[in-house]
């Protein structure tokens, strides 16, 4: 008999608690090698008079998430929120997993964010590759998930995150037939917020990456402004980062491009933008889809195909 696969929802549910970190919750032991985690968020909210929406509002509702087990930090995302994780996932999936638009009134939103750890999150037939076993979390009786929830005012002015908001976690599992079929690598996804100095010598800032890793993929999300008005920005606006590059220890520059050009190269297959922030001359209408420009070219990804080493 060959290897087997399973998508089985965990009994784990993490309820909303405004501004607080949840207790680390054990996923359970009924799973094999975990090739992905489906994060299902249900967000209930109400409105008061004159509500407005903050950009990428849904993933402002959490300020951090971690998945740890066996002393390994498989997923560690924090500060300022989970927007970078949302966009990293959408970029890997070529525009899939778009968050819902904001709606007025008392509404419960539902969204699934598929975190797929393998090298190839899409199959050759363009379907989602849930069971790519190139990288996975090994079976672990102590695998824990922890979420830090944002304040109940995090999604917009006069919009309140309410009771009933929660996060469910569904592991995607692979059961290898033999030890030779076991995954050889495990994921380590880490966010690293960087605040450049206001006065940069030579109009350039350097952000060192932690040494000792093979960087398969990386995502850069450039924000401008103070929270909650910190919005994605590209190389067009006067306050933008105009160019982005990657320099290795031996002096090579595998990437060196205008920021706007680089963002476009990552998003050819996007069809609908999350908002109109990239539409020339338009005032931001956050939380409302736009076809004025199909992509969200205020994000850049250093693709791992091939890996930059």
306 pLDDT tier (thresholds 50, 70, 90)? very low
Which contacts (CB < 8 Å, 24+ apart) does range 277-280 have?
Answer: 277/55, 277/231, 277/232, 278/234
> pLDDT at position 298, please?
47
> pLDDT at position 260, please?
82
Cα atoms found within 13 Å of the Cα of residue 99, Cβ hemisphere only? 27
**Residue pLDDT, tens place only, 255-274:** 888 888 887 777 767 878 89
> pLDDT at position 309, please?
29
Cis check: omega of the bond before 306, within 30 degrees of 0: yes
Q: 66-85 burial, b if ≥16 CB within 10 A, otherwise e?
A: bbbbeeeebbbbbebbbbbb
Partnered with residue 111 across adjacent β-strands are 41
Question: For residue 248, how far is the Cα from the chain centroid?
Answer: 25
> pLDDT at position 305, please?
43
Domain positions in the chain are 4-189, 194-309
4-189: what CATH class? mainly beta
Please say if the pLDDT value at position 297 is more than 60: no
Please say if the pLDDT value at position 194 is more than 90: no
**Residue pLDDT, tens place only, 170-182:** 999 999 999 999 9
Q: Which of 65, 59, 136, 68 is nearest to 90 (CA)?
A: 59
303 pLDDT tier (thresholds 50, 70, 90)? very low
Give the C-alpha separation, 161 to 152, whole Å: 5
What is the widest separation between alpha-carbon atoms in the chain? 63
Residue 93: partners with Cβ closer than 8 Å, 6 or more residues away: 114, 116, 121, 122, 128
202 pLDDT tier (thresholds 50, 70, 90)? low
Gyration radius (Cα) of the chain, Å: 20
**Residue pLDDT, tens place only, 63-116:** 999 999 988 999 999 879 999 999 999 989 988 999 999 999 999 999 999 999
Q: Is the dihedral of CA 151, 112, 90, 272 positive or negative?
A: negative
Please say if the pLDDT value at position 294 is more than 80: no
Partnered with residue 189 across adjacent β-strands are 75
Give the C-alpha separation, 195 to 188, whole Å: 23
* Average pLDDT of the residues in 32-40: 95
Average pLDDT, the chain: 87
Give the C-alpha separation, 65 to 21, whole Å: 9
Per-residue CA distances from 287 to 52, 68, 102, 149 (Å): 9, 32, 5, 20
Please say if the pLDDT value at position 302 is more than 50: no
**Does pTM top 0.95 for this prediction?**
no
Asked whether the beta carbons of 228 and 115 are under 8 A apart, the reply is no
Measured in residues, the chain has a length of 309
40 pLDDT tier (thresholds 50, 70, 90)? very high
């Amino acid at each position: 008999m060959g290897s087997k696969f399973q998508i089985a929802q965990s009994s784990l549910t993490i309820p909303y608690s405004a501004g607080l970190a949840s207790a680390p919750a054990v996923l359970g032991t009924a799973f094999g090698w975990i090739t992905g985690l489906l994060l299902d968020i249900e967000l209930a909210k109400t409105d008061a008079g004159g509500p407005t929406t903050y950009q990428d509002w849904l993933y402002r509702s959490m300020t951090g998430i971690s998945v740890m087990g066996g002393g390994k930090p498989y997923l560690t995302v924090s500060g300022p929120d989970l927007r970078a994780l949302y966009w990293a996932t959408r970029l890997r999936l070529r525009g899939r997993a778009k968050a819902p638009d904001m709606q007025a009134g008392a509404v419960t939103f539902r969204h699934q964010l598929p975190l797929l750890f393998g090298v190839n999150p899409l199959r050759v037939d363009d379907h989602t590759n849930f069971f790519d076993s190139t990288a996975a979390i090994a079976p672990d009786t102590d695998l824990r998930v922890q979420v830090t929830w944002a304040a109940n005012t995090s999604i917009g002015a006069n919009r309140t995150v309410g009771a009933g908001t929660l996060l469910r976690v569904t592991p995607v599992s692979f059961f290898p037939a033999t030890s030779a079929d076991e995954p050889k690598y495990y994921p380590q996804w880490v966010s690293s917020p960087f605040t450049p100095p206001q006065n940069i010598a030579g109009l350039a800032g350097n952000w060192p990456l932690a040494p000792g890793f093979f960087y398969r993929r990386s995502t850069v999300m450039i924000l401008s402004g103070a929270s909650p008005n910190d919005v994605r920005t590209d190389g067009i606006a006067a306050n933008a980062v105009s160019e982005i590059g990657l320099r290795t220890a031996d002096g090579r520059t595998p990437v060196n491009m205008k920021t706007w050009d680089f963002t476009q190269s990552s998003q050819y297959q996007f069809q609908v933008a999350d908002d109109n922030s990239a539409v020339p001359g338009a005032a931001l209408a956050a939380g409302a889809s736009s076809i004025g420009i199909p992509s969200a070219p205020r994000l850049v990804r250093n693709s791992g195909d091939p890996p930059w080493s």
